[in-house]
Chain A
Amino acid sequence: MKIKLKFGDATATFLLSPTHPKTPHYKKTKDGDIIKFRRMIKFDKSLREEQLKKDSDLYVKLLDSDIEYDLNLTGKIINRTYRIKLDKNFKPVYKYEKFDIRIKPDGKLEERKHKIRVSNIKQELPVVISEKAISYPDFIKRYVLKKSYNIIHEDEGNFDLIYNLAKDLHEKQQLRQIFAFNEETLKPEPLIITHEGTLYNLAFLQGIVDNRRYCLRLLLSDMELRWEPKI
């Protein structure tokens, strides 16, 4: 992944790498057999259809019914599957409309036509590093650090640019807020790292330097550090 950042007058593209990749490991038995996590079929739509025909007291009817699992099918190991949509008759539907449904905390329901979340970190308009800064304790008390990435220089010519930024942040012990812009409205919008990915409303940069080495991190948050009232 790449991010296009604007530093003062300069604009440069950098690599993004997750700070918390999964720990590589294997699963084995005591005898040395390799263990795999496999998916198996329990039943397919034919059985589901029979179950759903009984529209009321489904649970009771299922218990009393003589519906049987297809023993030739149950337990069949499957590898890859594709996502599809089914109508009420269990027929695949290929052309459909997508809607975003939002349920507010007060229970109100809102809906709109689905708006595609397009990644906005490597578009024509760069992500801007603002002058807005926050101290370490302030960030910890206010926001939840949900995801972070290392920002790495790709082009040797950008090394000084990124090193100096990390050094400045390290010396001031501050985090600098960054903003992405919507290319149509030209207004700031939450950072979207991947296509149809999470909206990160708050994004900051943190820098650490050690001699001529740097670590510049993109810190992402999608919620404040607070709790809902106990009901």
Chain B
Amino acid sequence: MARKIKLKFDESLVEFSLRKISKSKIYGERRIEYRLNGEVLENAKITTDGMHILPKSSIAQQYVNERNEYTSISEIIYTDPDGKELPQYESHFNKEIMIEVFELSNFFNFQTDDIYLMEVEDDLQSSLRNFYEKCLKYFNEGKLIKTTYAFRKTPFPKNMVFIPKDNKIIICVGDFRGPVFNESKINIDELISQLDEENLDEELLEMW
């Protein structure tokens, strides 16, 4: 079984792992093949100077500093555009994570990257059932449960949203962003009210 995540709710603890739900296993897979006279062609890259033809897996990627020296990920500090250091979140595998309840309507601030099925060991099925019932109770009240998702230490943690369905819990992993409101820059009603002004005709007829 995969690595376990410890989730604390009320006074209980549920230890679970994630099984990825793959779209290709449900609906099948689609890919594009390039052919010349029936022969399947290979994808490759060519440098802009045309000097090097680079077949698959011939390019490495690396973090480097200003002197093009290798830099380890552990040495990197993440900052915002103002230069302020961003806090790092510990991996969810290294600690007990807490749940957070939110309104169902706020789910639409969320965008899913991956979906998983919540799985527990056979002897811990009762804890999963308790958690499912809790999720379902909240869902019927118009609420959902979420928690932080950080596979490894990161300044950009994601969220896990727990959705109860058919006695299983589906976990959507993704990101929340608040709504962006838009408004009219011009008050059309105010413009219309100007049309009633008495001297409007004179103003419109005035040649400048």
Task: Give the interface of A toward B (CB within 8 A).
Answer: 17, 19-20, 23-30, 33-45, 48, 73, 77-88, 90, 92-93, 95-105, 111, 114, 136-137, 140-141, 144-148, 150, 152-153, 156-157, 159-160, 163, 173, 206, 208, 210, 212-215, 217, 219, 222-228, 230
Q: Are B33 and A99 interface neighbours, CB within 8 A? A: yes
- Can you report 5 A-B residue pairs in the complex whose CB atoms are below 8 A from each other? A80-B48, A84-B46, A111-B33, A140-B104, A215-B182
Instruction: Please provide the chain B residues from 179 to 204 with a CB less than 8 Å away from any CB of chain A in the complex.
Output: 179-186, 188
Q: Across the interface, which residues of A come within 8 angstroms of B98, CB to CB?
A: none
Q: Across the interface, which residues of A come within 8 angstroms of B181, CB to CB?
A: 208, 210, 213-215
Leading 4 A-B pairs by shortest Cβ distance: A213-B181, A81-B45, A228-B25, A215-B179
Question: Does residue B9 face the partner (Cβ distance < 8 Å to A)?
Answer: no
CA distance in complex: A34, B81 (Å): 12
Residues A225 and B86 in contact in the complex (CB < 8 Å), given A19-B180, A35-B65: no
User: Which chain A residue shows the least CB distance to B187?
Assistant: A212
**Additional A-B contact list (11), CB under 8 Å, known A41-B58, A80-B48, A226-B165:** A33-B66, A36-B63, A48-B58, A88-B39, A101-B33, A140-B104, A141-B163, A156-B185, A208-B179, A217-B108, A219-B108
CA distance in complex: A155, B96 (Å): 50
Contact of B54 among A44, A173, A223 (CB under 8 A): A44
Q: Across the interface, which residues of A come within 8 angstroms of B35, CB to CB?
A: 96-99
Q: Across the interface, which residues of A come within 8 angstroms of B26, CB to CB?
A: 105, 223-224, 226-228
Q: Are B111 and A26 interface neighbours, CB within 8 A? A: no
CA distance in complex: A210, B181 (Å): 8
Q: Are A212 and B183 interface neighbours, CB within 8 A? A: yes
Q: Are A29 and B58 interface neighbours, CB within 8 A? A: no
CA distance in complex: A79, B54 (Å): 13
User: Which chain A residue shows the least CB distance to B117?
Assistant: A227
Q: Are B66 and A48 interface neighbours, CB within 8 A? A: no
Q: Are A144 and B115 interface neighbours, CB within 8 A? A: yes
Contact of A148 among B111, B142, B185 (CB under 8 A): B111
Task: Give the interface of B toward A (CB within 8 A).
Answer: 19, 21-36, 39, 41-48, 52-55, 57-68, 71, 75-81, 83, 86, 104-105, 107-112, 115, 117, 139, 142, 144, 155-156, 163, 165, 168, 170, 172, 175, 177, 179-186, 188
Q: Across the interface, which residues of A come within 8 angstroms of B80, CB to CB?
A: 24-26
Q: Are B177 and A20 interface neighbours, CB within 8 A? A: yes
Q: Are A87 and B39 interface neighbours, CB within 8 A? A: yes
Q: Are A39 and B76 interface neighbours, CB within 8 A? A: no
Q: Are B62 and A30 interface neighbours, CB within 8 A? A: no
Q: Are A227 and B186 interface neighbours, CB within 8 A? A: no
Q: Across the interface, which residues of A come within 8 angstroms of B109, CB to CB?
A: 19
Q: Are A92 and B53 interface neighbours, CB within 8 A? A: yes
Residues A38 and B47 in contact in the complex (CB < 8 Å), given A84-B53, A87-B39: no
Q: Across the interface, which residues of A come within 8 angstroms of B185, CB to CB?
A: 156
User: Which chain B residue shows the least CB distance to A27?
Assistant: B76
Q: Are B47 and A223 interface neighbours, CB within 8 A? A: no
Q: Are B179 and A145 interface neighbours, CB within 8 A? A: no
Q: Are A228 and B36 interface neighbours, CB within 8 A? A: no
Q: Across the interface, which residues of B come within 8 angstroms of A230, CB to CB?
A: 19
Q: Are A159 and B184 interface neighbours, CB within 8 A? A: yes
Residues A25 and B155 in contact in the complex (CB < 8 Å), given A81-B48, A85-B34, A86-B55: yes
User: Which chain B residue shows the least CB distance to A40?
Assistant: B60
Chain A nearest CB, measured from B93 CB (Å) = 23
